[in-house]
Amino acid sequence: MTSPVPFPERPGKIIALHLNYRSRAAQRGRVPDQPSYFLKPPTSVAASGAVLERPAGTELLGFEGEIALIIGRAARRVTPADGWSYVAGVTAANDFGVYDLRYADKGSNLRSKGGDGFTPIGPEVLPAADIDPAALRLRTWLNGELVQHDTTADLLFDFGRLVADLSQLITLEPGDVMLTGTPAGASVAGPGDVIEVEVDTEGRTTGRLVTPITQGTVPFGPYGALPRVDDQQRRDAYGKAEPEFTLNASLRERIESVGVATLSAQLRKRGYNAVSIDGLTSTRPGVRLTGRARTLRYLPYREDLFREHGSGYNAQKLVIDALGPGDVLVMEARGERGTGTVGDILALRAQVQGAAGIVTDGGVRDLAAVSSLDIPVYHTGAHPAVLGRRHVPWDIDIAISCGGAAVCPGDVIVGDDDGVLVIPPHLIEEVVGAAIEQERQETFIAEQVAAGERVEGLYPMDEYWRGRYAEWLAKR
């Protein structure tokens, strides 16, 4: 480091602020009256360039570009006017966290934001004596695209006030780090992404704090809270003020009022021709499947990989335990029918968890027992062999391929005796509305055909029959 301010490689305390930028408060829909804080472990600190793992089994690794204050001298019961004088320097920081574990923290953020490497800071420190704390600019880039851009003129609580507030009860010591909040634009990063954060003012800069993201491979053990997400967590993670889509009871009823074949036709009209999961049979003929996708990917069997990832509490068991009401577990098994990908015990566990169904383009063990359950399981056939004959359970809640279709976590999965479809959430309202109208028209057409009418001009309807259809519709 070229800065005269010591760089806190292992600070005594890391204190982070919940909300402090007006833009973020507006996004969250609330403006706090007073600042509120949480702690992050010193072991969460990482340097610029350090690779950060998205923990295995998690979906929502959130990033938040922030300005970090480095305390220069002990502060206890100082005033807001004097608070800034206790700061030695500022640098860039990224307050990473996994939204999948927020439910388990009860507001403390310890597990969700305290992971190793979850607080990268740097690379350079700007001496506090040389800068105006009200004139700092904060920027964050995701894969080279600017996603956060704000200044300290937008703060709800200035830095001096934060130091004074905390020092009323807590002695701030040299080297302590304070994360001062994030502006609007914070979102989610995944494996392969690179996030950069920079703080600058009047030609002076911290340089870009660079954090590449990779996929973790070590699953969570069964002795603590497991990753779990819902629509609210997704909205919070992606910074959405309002939900883009919620699969509520009313929408579910509308989806199930029309056939999968009709939904397929409407998707095809919109250019979606590869959204059917092909070659599957349901254990519950006549039972509809409607839910949101959770995903599991199997790798082809390899002895060393199976020894490391296949036994014990592997990715398959982890995702089964993490299923919630309305979830559909979709498995990528590469169309391999030569072994089972799920059996009666795990299918029963999914049912107890409230899952809507299971979809696999591989085989099913214990088919008779699985078929006796209430939960529908779509599969390619029965096979008595265990998982390890052909598969290694590898990762969950990532984009996968199943039966020739791409499936992303959160996609809408619908199935009936005609097959299984994957519907992108942003299309569901439009597609369902059009499908309901299509089936209404087809009911009219079927009535005319049953009465002896020719299909020419009727199916599809020409102008004459459209007029007759409008009259028929007005009487209903």
161-204 pLDDT, tens digit per residue, is 999 999 999 999 999 999 999 999 999 999 999 999 999 998 89
Q: What is the DSSP string of 22-67?
A: HHHHHHHT---SS--EEEE-GGGEE-TT--EEEPTT---EEE-EEE
- Three-point CA angle 21, 113, 62, nearest 5°: 65
**302 C-beta neighbours (distance < 10 Å), count:** 12
**224 CB-contact burial (10 Å; exposed 0-12 / middle 13-18 / buried 19+):** exposed
Answering whether pTM is above 0.75, one says no
Instruction: Determine contact, residues 39/13, Cβ cutoff 8 Å.
Output: yes
**Per-residue pLDDT tens over the stretch 207-217:** 999 999 999 99
Looking up tokens 């956060």 gives 148
**Per-residue pLDDT tens over the stretch 71-113:** 999 999 999 999 999 999 999 999 999 999 998 887 789 999 9
Mean per-residue pLDDT over the chain, rounded: 92
Q: What is the DSSP string of 401-431?
A: EETTEEE-TT-EEEEETTEEEEE-GGGHHHH
Looking at residue 26, its pLDDT comes to 79
- For residue 155, give the amino acid letter: L
DSSP alpha helices (H): ranges in 204-259? 231-238, 249-255
Looking at residue 54, its pLDDT comes to 95
- For residue 372, give the amino acid letter: S
Looking at residue 334, its pLDDT comes to 96
**Per-residue pLDDT tens over the stretch 103-153:** 888 778 999 999 999 999 999 999 999 999 999 999 999 999 999 999 998
| Whole-angstrom distance, CA of residue 469 vs CA of residue 139 | 58
In 3D space, the residue among 239, 192, 208 whose CA is nearest the CA of residue 398 turns out to be 192
Looking up tokens 């302590």 gives 176
Looking at residue 240, its pLDDT comes to 61
Q: How confident is the model at residue 361 (pLDDT cuts 50, 70, 90)?
A: very high
Residue 254: strand, helix, or coil: helix
Q: How confident is the model at residue 3 (pLDDT cuts 50, 70, 90)?
A: low
Map out the domains of the chain with their CATH numbers.
14-235 (3.90.850.10), 273-423 (3.50.30.40), 430-474 (no CATH)
